[in-house]
Structures are given as structure tokens and as C-alpha cells.
């Protein structure tokens, strides 16, 4: 069993470590509250929102997209590694993407090959064609729009939280 004097010695040795820890914690809190300059790069902010978000397909070529009974909703997720994944509403999709400013292109797109019921097969073909034709994107609030090289809207998405 340690004596009271030994406890005092141990605590006195910990005092500098405690002071450093408190200083680091205060510095982290203060830097988290600091404001950035007024020259925010909107493209960087948009890219950050684009990547890592679950984007649910809402319209394709101006037409609303419905979720079929017992089927996944059509969506995509752009990973930080340059890979895209998601669903056509029937099959899983995967591939690569390239992002530079507001330019967004998809390549090496592939999907699983399960038979799609009814209109889901047509939706899947149109969805994959829209991704292949994508040249640009824009984000406003919780909405993403993919556009072709002529800036015509191909598809619109709504951001959903990843759980």
C-alpha cells in the first residue's frame, strides 16, 4: 500500500501532463469555433456534399421515378476512392467516376444481371444511359442534378442520410 507522500509525488509528476492535456483541449475547442475567411470555395463545398452522400433518384429525363414493390430504390453513392455504387432499382450498379470542378463523368459502369420486372427493365436501361451521358452536375440544398455536355438535365436526386 502506498503512503500519502508517495501519492503526492505521483500526482506532482502528473501535473505537467494534465496541464498539457488541458491546453490541447482548449486549443481544439477554440479552433473549432474559429470562423473561416469569406473566400469559401463553393466547388469544394459542393464536392464534399457530392461524395459520400446517398443520392436517391427522383426524376429521370424529367419523369418521376417510382419505387416498385419489393425492389430497392434507384440510388447512387460516390466514394472517396473514385468508385460509384448504388442500385438501378432492380440490380446493383458499380463503376468509377471522375470529378473535376463541376465536371463529373462515369466510366466502367456495370450492373448485376437479374431479370427486372415490367417497367424496371426500361428504367434500368435509361438510368445507365443517363450515367454514361453525364458531363456535369450541380447541387442546390439537398438536390443533385446530373447534366449532359449541353447542360440538359438528365437526372435529379434527393440526398438521404446514410445510417
For the chain (163 residues), the mean pLDDT of every run of 10, in chain order, is 54 47 40 36 54 95 86 92 95 96 95 88 93 96 96 96 61
Strand partners of residue 140: 143
How far apart are alpha carbons 89 and 65 in whole angstroms?
A: 9
Domain 42-160 has CATH 2.60.40.420: no
Supply the pLDDT for residue 107. 96
Supply the pLDDT for residue 66. 85
Strand partners of residue 137: 146
**CA proximity to 54, closest of 142, 130, 162, 149:** 162
Q: Are 111 and 91 in contact (CB under 8 A)?
A: yes
C-alpha cell at 65: 421515378
- C-alpha distances out from residue 11 to 6, 17, 45, 87, Å: 9, 10, 47, 58
Task: Give the residue extent of every domain in the chain.
Answer: 1-34, 42-160
For 2-33, b where at least 16 C-beta lie within 10 A, e where not — what string? Answer: eeeeeeeeeeeeeeeeeeeeeeeeeeeeeeee
Please name the residue that has the C-alpha cell 442534378.
145
DSSP string, 124-139: HHHHHHHHHH--EEEE
Q: Are 159 and 139 in contact (CB under 8 A)?
A: no
What count of other Cβ atoms lies within 10 Å of the Cβ of residue 127?
27
Supply the pLDDT for residue 69. 76
How far apart are alpha carbons 134 and 20 in whole angstroms?
A: 52
CA angle 53–99–71, rounded 5-degree value: 40
Amino acid at each position: 500500500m502506498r503512503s500519502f507522500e508517495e501519492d503526492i509525488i505521483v500526482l506532482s509528476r502528473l501535473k505537467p501532463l494534465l496541464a498539457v492535456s488541458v491546453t490541447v483541449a482548449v486549443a481544439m475547442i477554440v479552433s473549432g469555433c474559429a470562423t473561416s475567411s469569406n473566400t469559401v470555395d463553393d466547388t469544394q463545398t459542393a464536392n464534399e456534399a457530392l461524395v459520400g452522400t446517398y443520392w436517391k433518384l427522383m426524376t429521370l429525363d424529367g419523369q418521376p421515378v417510382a419505387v416498385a414493390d419489393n425492389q430497392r430504390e434507384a440510388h447512387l453513392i460516390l466514394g472517396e476512392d473514385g468508385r460509384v455504387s448504388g442500385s438501378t432499382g432492380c440490380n446493383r450498379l458499380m463503376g468509377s467516376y471522375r470529378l473535376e470542378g463541376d465536371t463529373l463523368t462515369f466510366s466502367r459502369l456495370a450492373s448485376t444481371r437479374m431479370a427486372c420486372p415490367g417497367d424496371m427493365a426500361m428504367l434500368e436501361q435509361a438510368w445507365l444511359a443517363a450515367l454514361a451521358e453525364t458531363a456535369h452536375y450541380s447541387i442546390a440544398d439537398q438536390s443533385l442534378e446530373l447534366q449532359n455536355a449541353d447542360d440538359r438535365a438528365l437526372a435529379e436526386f434527393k440526398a438521404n442520410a446514410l445510417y
